[in-house]
Amino acid sequence: MRQELISQFLADNHLGSAYIEPLIADASFRTYARISNDDGQTYIVMDAPPNRESVEPFVYIDQYLRKRGFSAPEIYAQDIENGLLLLEDFGNDSFTKLLKDPHSGIDELTLYTCAVDALIALGRASLPSKIPGYNDELLMNEVMLLPDWYMPNLEGANYSSAQRLEYIRIWKHLLSSPKAAEDVVVLRDYHADNLMWLPDREGVQRVGMLDFQDAVIGSPAYDLVSLLEDARRDVSPATVKTVLSYYASQRKTVDDEAFYAQYAMLAAQRNCKIIGIFARLAVRDNKPRYLNYIPRVWRHLAKGMEHPVLAPLHQWFSDVMDEGMRDLSYFSVPQESTQPELHVATSQ
């Protein structure tokens, strides 16, 4: 049924005879394909089943970003009712791909500095009116993914209802901390896989932005965390230090110490969320490959909890499961959810 809808959508846009190349799916319900016509022009088709999610938020944020001079894909055609978009093709040069290629001719610091320049510019843009705030309720719902999906499948954890209540209490206190900077548009998945390098463009337009349909209004620290504490690749400590210093020299915050405390808190929030999401993908959605990233996320979380503001959370994890138990050998996927190709990497 979806394939018939896509075929008709392409035909309606004079691409009925085009070559269709499916692209690797992500963790969402969306799928993508590259469309090539006879004269070599390429496009991307986004297929988002409307019973799973709407493409309207993507369209709205895409238009917001493009009007303010950022490189979001141009939308050539849309079928909102059926969840189909025909998009500009930014090519294959994601930050991830370029940084894996020793012959790409571009270094990590250059890419990440450009990505931060785009965040700085985004932080100066007027706020849109139709996207939600990243409020305490949403942040709390996300952080509960760890006890709801990871902890139940962790063998030997000292986890009780009292420990769960203590986790909630700690997070409610952390999330109640005052703002350390003015709110900005937060793209939420601002990391190397979703950033494309467009060297023929100028300034911040060299950074092609993808996967921003879940954007909210919140702290500018959040997208910095997404960029620098990437679940899928290690960013060098030198790059992290340089980029944070560069950002600090350009931004306006209430107080530097408060900003870095908020950065640490949101890093912990995001990393707890990601551990829970990747566990859910393995257990509920039969996608165990995402377990491969969890050890890196644990390392991010452990390092981040060295910040004094996170001392209660650090103590909670020490009480419930010591560092040795964060090895994935303690995590058990229900038998009906396993796949034979599962490979759990305990170090990366």
User: Is the Cβ–Cβ distance between 136 and 219 less than 8 Å?
Assistant: no
SS3 218: strand
Asked which of 251-255, 283-287, 295-299, 325-329 is least confident by mean pLDDT, the reply is 251-255
To the question of pTM greater than 0.85 for the whole model, the response is: yes
**31-36 vs 42-47, strand pairing mode:** antiparallel
Q: Which residues are paired to 184 by β-bridges?
A: 218
The encoded tokens of residue 218 equal: 């919140």
Q: How many CB atoms lie within 10 A of CB 226?
A: 24
Cα separation, 75 vs 269, whole angstroms = 33
What's the pLDDT at 345?
Answer: 31
CA-based nearest residue to 210, from 344, 336, 61: 61
Kindly tell me if the per-residue pLDDT of 338 is higher than 50.
Answer: no
Q: What is the CA radius of gyration of the chain?
A: 21
Question: Binning pLDDT at 50, 70 and 90, where does residue 341 land?
Answer: very low
Question: Binning pLDDT at 50, 70 and 90, where does residue 322 land?
Answer: confident
Kindly tell me if the per-residue pLDDT of 225 is higher than 50.
Answer: yes
pLDDT in tens, 133-190: 999 999 999 999 999 999 998 888 888 999 999 999 999 999 998 888 889 999 999 9
CA-based nearest residue to 287, from 235, 341, 234, 330: 341
Cα separation, 74 vs 28, whole angstroms = 21
Percent of the chain scoring above 70 in pLDDT: 94
Cα separation, 312 vs 318, whole angstroms = 10
Structural domains in the chain plus CATH codes? 2-88 (3.30.200.20), 95-337 (3.90.1200.10)
Kindly tell me if the per-residue pLDDT of 81 is higher than 80.
Answer: yes
Kindly tell me if the per-residue pLDDT of 201 is higher than 80.
Answer: yes
What's the pLDDT at 24?
Answer: 72
What's the pLDDT at 178?
Answer: 86
The encoded tokens of residue 251 equal: 């931004």
The encoded tokens of residue 105 equal: 């001719």
Residues 6+ apart with CB under 8 A from 86: 9, 10, 13, 15, 35, 43, 44, 45, 75, 76, 77, 78
Question: Binning pLDDT at 50, 70 and 90, where does residue 28 land?
Answer: low
What's the pLDDT at 25?
Answer: 64
Q: Which residue carries 């209802």 as its tokens?
A: 161
Q: What is the mean pLDDT of residues 88-104?
A: 95
Residue 171: enclosing H or E segment and its boundaries?
helix 161-175
